[in-house]
Every structure is written in C-alpha cells, then in structure tokens.
Amino acid sequence: MNEILTITLNPALDLSTQTPVIKPGPKLRCDFPVAETGGGGINVSRAIGHLGGTSHCFVALAGATGARLLELLHDQGITPIAQDLPGETRQSFAVTEQSTGQQYRFVMPGPAWDPADIDRALFRIQQELTTGTIAVLSGSNPPGVPDDMAHRIARLCADHGARLIVDISGPPLAALAAGGGGVDVLRMDAHEAEQLAGRPLPTRIDTAGFAQALCATAAAHIVIVARGADGSTMATQDGAWHAACPVTSVVSAIGAGDSFVAGFALALSQGAAAEDALKYGVAAAAACCLTEGTQLCTLQGAQEALSATTIERLAAN
C-alpha cells in the first residue's frame, strides 16, 4: 500500500450554533457553539480514517486558533504535519435560524502568506513525498498563495515519483484548467465544470467530452466531474466512464465531495485501477449522504453502497 499525504493550506476552525430568529439590530442569543476542524485536506484525512485507512496530513496553522485546531485534530486521531505561520488561522461561523431551518455561513480569509512561507511549505511537503505517494491537495488558497501553487506541488510530486489529486476551486482551478498543470487527477463539481466550459453540460456524454478536452490540454491525466445525485464522470485521453449509486433519502450531502476524494485516493493507494477507484469514491460519497451534519462517510456505509454502485463506459463527444 502506498502512503497518502493530504495537504491543507487554508484550514479553518468551524463554529456552528443556532438561534430562534436572525434579524438585524438586537443581540441574538445563540446555543452553545460546536467547534469542528475544517479544510478540504483535513476532511479527506478524516474520511480516510473512517474508511479504515491512514494518511499523513500537512496543515498550515497560525496563532491561538491554529492551536485550538491542532487540539481538535489530535482528538480525532490525526497527528498533523504542522507548519507554523504568523497571524491567525481562519474561522468560519455558521448560524442556523431555528424558525426556518435556513443556515447563514460566514467564512474568514485566513492568514496572509509571504514568499518565505510558500517556500517553507513546499520544502516540508517535499520531505513527505516518496515513490508511490498519493498526495491530495484540497481546499482554498490563503491570501498570498499564488494561483499556480498546484502546479508547483505537481512538479514536486513528479520529481519524487508521487501522484497528485487536486480538488480546488476558483482562480486556482481555472489556472490548472488552462493546461499543462501536470497533475494526475483533477476533480471538480458540475457547476465548476460548466463555468470553465462556458456552456451547460446537461448529459453525462457532455461532461465526458469536456473532461476529455481538459485531458487533451494536459490539465490532468484524469479529470473527474461530480454530477451531484447523478454520480461522477471520469475521463482520460483513452476513454470515459460514469459511476453512480442510488441514494433514496439524503440526510446530509455535506462532505460528500471530500468523502469521494478519500475513497478514490484510498483505492488508488491500494493499487486499484482508476475505474475501480471511481466506483469506491462514488460509494463513499453516497455513504456520506446517509450521515448527519458533517460526519462524512462510514466504512460500513461505503461497503454497502459499493454493492449498489454501477459503472459504465461512455463514448465522449
């Protein structure tokens, strides 16, 4: 089995609470807040643990908030590879209005990095890479980190015989999609894919054609587009596949994307072919949809979902 390294450049301490009604003006009395770890790579490591696997977790932490986040990670059985930064790790704050069930989410930007911070992070990540390592870069970039950070990490991975899975959004995703990024696997959701394509992608064939076009520009060797309840489409220059798992009653879809990446990465680390990794990723995402809140997937849920997961080969446009 190959080692898995998750990379979280912009983690968050996620706080959530409830209040009867949200309105401007008066002080709003809230319930006791719940504190949780946040950030794409951290969530992927959590999900890998739920699936019975292990991973190393690189995470950049700053200030008292970073120290609190570190405590929570240890409580979850994750021993991170921590890089200290000046400033404060960001917080996100979610308040649910009990009268309507609507949730209001506030996300802070995180500490600003300078060029020396970037160099230290790349050096530390490089130290964790060995031949066969499956690295996962997931989540947003903090202020000061350039849009081509994924390209830089991809070069490190290539130099050390490692593979890189990327699940990012916004300008950094657009920078990768422009081509020549050299990453092994690039994942995005359907909305992000349509934004990059500049057109709707209503069918699986449409999605597969777009994904293969990205492969042709060397954006990635494998491109995966999550189509929500319709499953995920995966393409390489040699072909395209679609995997789906029926979920009749969604409890919470929060963390389904991170659960997919966890299942996909874990399967790859165990030597699975990309098509089989796609199936297991979809099963893990489906399992996540059956858990409450931010609980992510479970091993039992993923195993049960796997038996119901189907995969087909597509003929891309």
Report domain extents, the chain. Answer: 4-10+41-88+112-314
pTM of the model: 0.94
d(CA 74, CA 42): 12
pLDDT at 293: 72
3-state secondary structure of 264: helix
How do strand 183-189 and strand 220-226 relate by DSSP bridges? parallel
Q: Choose among 262, 266, 270, 214: nearest CA to 240.
A: 214
Which single residue is written with the structure tokens 């492969």?
215
Token code pair at residue 78: 């994750």
pLDDT tens-digit readout, 29-81:
999 998 999 999 999 999 999 999 999 999 999 999 999 999 999 998 898 99
**Integer angstrom CA distances of residue 283 from 50, 55, 70:** 13, 20, 30
Can 258 be counted among the known catalytic residues?
A: yes
- Round the average pLDDT of the chain to a whole number and report it: 94
pLDDT tens-digit readout, 162-208:
999 999 999 999 999 998 878 999 999 999 999 999 999 999 999 99
Q: Which CATH code of 3.40.630.30, 2.40.50.140, 3.40.50.970, 3.40.1190.20 fits the domain covering 4-10+41-88+112-314?
A: 3.40.1190.20
More confident residue, 171 or 292: 171
pLDDT at 45: 96
Q: Which member of 117, 167, 184, 258 is catalytic?
A: 258
- Which amino acid would we find at residue 111? P
When pLDDT is cut at 50, 70 and 90, the band that residue 317 belongs to is: low
